[in-house]
C-alpha cells in the first residue's frame, strides 16, 4: 500500500527554518545551514538540471532514493511561494521553484485561497482548500500507486501527524543550533515511532522512523 512519507531537514534544536522569514530569505536567518548538506550532491544537482557534477556517497544515495519514491507531493502554501494572503496580492504567485520545478509530478498545495492548477514544466501545482485529509486523498489518487511525499513546511507536517496520516518520517539532522525560528514539532504531536534506519555522514544524520499506529 502506498505510504505517506516525510523527509525534512531540521536543526538539532528542532527548527526547520530560522526566525524572520521573508520572500528573499524564505528559510529565515540561519535556515540555509539546515540544507547545506544537500547542495553539493550529484543527485540534487541533477534534479536541478546540472548533470555529471557533485558528490556521491551515502548522502547522495539517500537523496536519490528519496527522489525516486513518490508519485505525488504534498506541501504547504508557504513552501510553494512564501506568501500568506490571497494569490492576487502575492508577488510570488508563480512560486519560487522557477520555470522547471524539480518535482516533475503533481504537487498538492494546501492553502486557504482557491486558484486554478498551475503547470510549470513537468510539474503541476494543484491548490487544495478543503484540508489536509482531502489534499492527501487527492495526492494518493494522483500518485498512481507510488508513495506520497510530504515536502513541508512544519504546519503541514503537524497536520498530517495529528490526523494520523503519516506512515514514515525521515529527519535529516543538521549539526547546528538555530535558537529560534519555526519548530518542526510545535507541541501536540504525540506517538510512538520505530527506528527503521540511521545513515550518518560528517555533515548530517539521517534517521528514518515508522509511525506506530495503535492497534
Smallest separation (angstroms) from its own copies to the CB of 32: 13
Q: How far apart are CA 80 and CA 3, in angstroms?
A: 22
Listed ranges 79-87, 99-107, 114-122, 180-188: which one lies at the site for its own copies (CB under 8 A): 180-188
Residue 130 within binding range of its own copies, rule CB under 8 A: no
Strand order in 4-11's β-sheet? 118-120, 123-128, 106-110, 70-76, 147-152, 4-11, 168-174, 204-211
Q: Is residue 2 within the footprint of its own copies (CB under 8 A)?
A: no
Near its own copies by CB under 8 A, which window of 110-118, 122-130, 142-150, 205-213? 205-213
Taking CB under 8 A as the criterion, the residue among 179, 182, 214, 215 binding its own copies is 179
Among 24, 145, 195, 213, binds its own copies (CB under 8 A): 195
Of the candidate spans 39-47, 73-81, 101-109, 194-202, the one that interacts with its own copies by CB under 8 A turns out to be 194-202
Q: Locate cell 548530517: which residue? A: 204
User: Considering only residues 31-90, where is the footprint of its own copies by CB under 8 A?
Assistant: 33
Q: How many residues does the chain have?
A: 215
CA distance 207 to 15: 16
130: which residues sit within 8 A by CB, 6+ positions away?
none
Question: Using CB under 8 A, which of the segments 48-56, 124-132, 143-151, 181-189 binds its own copies?
Answer: 181-189
By the rule CB under 8 A, 202 interacts with its own copies = yes
CB of 195 to its own copies, least distance (A): 5
The Cα 123–Cα 47 span in angstroms is 13
Q: Where are the beta strands (DSSP E) in 4-136?
A: 4-11, 15-17, 70-76, 106-110, 118-120, 123-128
Residues in touch with its own copies (CB under 8 A): 12-14, 30, 33, 161, 171, 173, 175-180, 184-185, 187-195, 198, 200-205, 207, 209
Amino acid at each position: 500500500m502506498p505510504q505517506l512519507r516525510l523527509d525534512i531537514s531540521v536543526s538539532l534544536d528542532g527548527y526547520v527554518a530560522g526566525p524572520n522569514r521573508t520572500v528573499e530569505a524564505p528559510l529565515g536567518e540561519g535556515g540555509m545551514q539546515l540544507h547545506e548538506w544537500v547542495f553539493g550532491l550529484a543527485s540534487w544537482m541533477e534534479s536541478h538540471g546540472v548533470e555529471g557534477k557533485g558528490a556521491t556517497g551515502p548522502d547522495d544515495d539517500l537523496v536519490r532514493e528519496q527522489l525516486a519514491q513518490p508519485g505525488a507531493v504534498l506541501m504547504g502554501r508557504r513552501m510553494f511561494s512564501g506568501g500568506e494572503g490571497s494569490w492576487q496580492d502575492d508577488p510570488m504567485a508563480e512560486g519560487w521553484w522557477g520555470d522547471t520545478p524539480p518535482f516533475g509530478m503533481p504537487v498538492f498545495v494546501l492553502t486557504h485561497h482557491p486558484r486554478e492548477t498551475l503547470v510549470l514544466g513537468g510539474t503541476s501545482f494543484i491548490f487544495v482548500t478543503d484540508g489536509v485529509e482531502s489534499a492527501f486523498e487527492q495526492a494518493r489518487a494522483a500518485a498512481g500507486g507510488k508513495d506520497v511525499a510530504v515536502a513541508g513546511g512544519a504546519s503541514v507536517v503537524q497536520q498530517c501527524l495529528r490526523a494520523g496520516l503519516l506512515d514514515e518520517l525521515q529527519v535529516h539532522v543538521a549539526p547546528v543550533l538555530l535558537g529560534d525560528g519555526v519548530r518542526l514539532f510545535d507541541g501536540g504531536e504525540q506517538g510512538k515511532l520505530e527506528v527503521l534506519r540511521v545513515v550518518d555522514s560528517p555533515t548530517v544524520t539521517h534517521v528514518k522512523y515508522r509511525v506506530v499506529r495503535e492497534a
